[in-house]
Amino acid sequence: MARPFPSVSRCSCLLSAVFVAAPFLVPLPVWSQVGAAAAPEAWKLLPPKPLAYVVAPAPGELLEYVLKHPLRARVEALPGYRAAVDSEGYRKFQGAVALAQTQLGRRWPAAIEGLVGGGVHLAFDAKQQSACLLARAAEPEFAAQTEQQLLNWANFAAKQNATPWKSSEHRGVTIHQGPDGACLAVWDGWIAFSNRLTTVKSVVDRSRDGGESLADHPTLASLHRQTTPATRLWAHVDLKQLRDAGAAKQLFQGQAENPAAELLFGGVLTTLQHTDFLAARLEAAPEGVKLSVAAPHRDQWVPEPRRHFFGADSRGQGKLLAQVNDQILSLTAYREIGRMWMQADDLFSPKMVDSLTEADSNLTTLFGGRDFGEDILGSLKPQVQFVVGRQAFEQLPRPALRLPGFALVGLLRDPVKMQPDLRRTYQSLIGFLNIVGAQQGNPQLDMDIEAVGDAKLYTANYVPEPTEAKSETARIFFNFSPCIAFAGERVVISSSVELAKKLIQSPANGAETPNTLATLSAVAARKALEDNRGQLIAQNMLEGNTRKDAERTIDSILDVADMLRSVELSLSTSPADAVSKLELTLEVEFAPANE
């Protein structure tokens, strides 16, 4: 289940990228708090209707967050990091930074704070085909002093083209323009950079005369009020502009490519067809990071074929049906799978519909003439859960490559009626697999029945050859022991008996979850990787690496996994009178160093 933020953790890619610059660090100053307060002031200078707008309210705090993170020492200990800082390219980078610090007269973290500590704003204007970066200096005098040095660097780089930057005056402000059209201006504590001269001039004009600007935008003010002290970045994207311009037509046509994509993202496609904008917010605290992407959502936008995704009034919620030890992944969702299957004609392309029609015919035959969509998939309640769990392989033979087990957990609408039908179909399927397997020389599946408390399990285990019965490096088949289990209304369809037993005996929590909730346990995932360390090293060596290099690569992956505790992705609707919000949230939590 999701923890209330800030009990989440942090983006390792961002950490790794910035930690490479760590040798230049000095104790950072207390970063300016002016960023969040100055945001509306910056809006008065920017274009009124940008396609996209991104703001870092306090860049210094974001930099400090990354560079002082407790994981920094662990990242620096990774072999990949050490190799990067020992490279020729990084040594040149060190030299360039050292020279820049000498010319600026201060260390680079303090220089960044002085130049942009009051906030960085980036606006993209589709009509003008322009981008404008506007920064508020925490130290206006330092920004003015740095202007000439920035121009010197630009002219030094331009010498290769033999075309230096040119300077001109506009409203008392000097604007520098490069040979590629890029423009820079520094005035009154503002720094503006754009790919178009007209854009910089318009920013200067608004600073002098006011006029229509981003401050007049109908939704940004409310988004700004939702920021918290932990907000490091936030953004707004005008989807209506994109749709009206005919961009990303495939994204906005609202059609998923296949049933898997429809089950995972179909509802999001419906919202993207109608909503005016997306708003994103990145929050970061010592324990982790949280990225939220939200958009207005109205239930009347949902067509009947997509009702399987949202439920009545867009209030469909998932349910936690089971939870087990060594659970790598849990995905709970509200999905009326049978309803989706029966309305495939309205959801998919003609080619996909033809494939599903053929599959439906074959599956109806397999299920003894019962309609696969209405009678079989329709027998499940909308609350479903998909689980991936590490296997212990306590009994021999054990496979050389040890895969996790996976299972679908659901609730039957009519258990008395459906359990016999599902059992017979399972038995028919095992018989079919044995016939096909015999033709291909594969081991046979031996069926059995087990009772565990009130639950009944129908199992199938591969029969090993005599020479393989005690093996620790058996064939991949021995990862699988397909099973179907029943306990009241609960049904478990699993790739392994071990996982099925855990799930069917798990207390039925029944706690409601968002419409979609995926939780990855990095601790369990690392154990599964560790189980296969030898196999992963061997595979890496087959790609041409030495054993030492292969071990270093695989151990680095395990070390990165050690830094993580969990990753959680949720999709939810939040009704608010006639309008609700569709929100996608990603939370990353890191493990403390002592875990």
What are the DSSP calls for 140-203, one per residue? HHHHHHHHHHHHHHHHHHHGGGT---EEEEETTEEEEE-TTS-EEEEETTEEEEES-HHHHHHH
Start-to-end C-alpha separation, the chain: 20
- Average of per-residue pLDDT across 299-320: 93
Q: In this predicted model, which residue has the larger pLDDT, 40 or 69?
A: 69
Closest CA to 529 of 326, 322, 323: 326
Return the pLDDT at 547.
93
Residue 451: pLDDT over 90? yes
Write out pLDDT tens, residues 156-192: 776 666 678 899 999 999 999 988 889 999 999 999 9
Per-residue confidence at 251, pLDDT binned at 50, 70, 90? Answer: confident
Return the pLDDT at 80.
80
Residue 141: pLDDT over 60? yes
Return the pLDDT at 595.
58
Return the pLDDT at 22.
36
The whole-angstrom separation of Cα 50 and Cα 83 is 42
Write out pLDDT tens, residues 42-54: 999 999 889 999 9
Write out pLDDT tens, residues 534-555: 999 999 999 988 999 899 889 9
Q: In this predicted model, which residue has the larger pLDDT, 14 or 381?
A: 381
Over the chain, what is the mean pLDDT?
A: 87
Structure tokens at 557: 């992956």
Q: In this predicted model, which residue has the larger pLDDT, 441 or 595?
A: 441
- Average of per-residue pLDDT across 219-238: 85
Structure tokens at 453: 């408390």
Return the pLDDT at 594.
64
Residue 292: pLDDT over 80? yes
Per-residue confidence at 15, pLDDT binned at 50, 70, 90? Answer: very low
Report pTM: 0.86
Residue 17: pLDDT over 60? no
6 phi/psi in degrees, rounded to 5: -100, 25
Residue 573: pLDDT over 60? yes
Q: In this predicted model, which residue has the larger pLDDT, 69 or 16?
A: 69
Beta bridge partners of 446: 461
- Average of per-residue pLDDT across 308-332: 94
Residue 19: pLDDT over 50? no
The whole-angstrom separation of Cα 549 and Cα 545 is 6
The whole-angstrom separation of Cα 550 and Cα 204 is 56
Return the pLDDT at 509.
73
DSSP at 273: H
Return the pLDDT at 157.
73
User: Considering only 113-127, 321-335, 361-375, 451-465, which range has the smallest mean pLDDT?
Assistant: 361-375
Per-residue confidence at 575, pLDDT binned at 50, 70, 90? Answer: low
Residue 28: pLDDT over 70? no
Residue 484: pLDDT over 90? yes
Return the pLDDT at 224.
79
Helices (H), 343-458: 350-366, 415-440
Residue 263: pLDDT over 60? yes
**68-82, 365-379, 437-451, range with greatest mean pLDDT:** 437-451
- Average of per-residue pLDDT across 560-582: 82
Return the pLDDT at 447.
96
Closest CA to 11 of 74, 82, 66, 70: 66
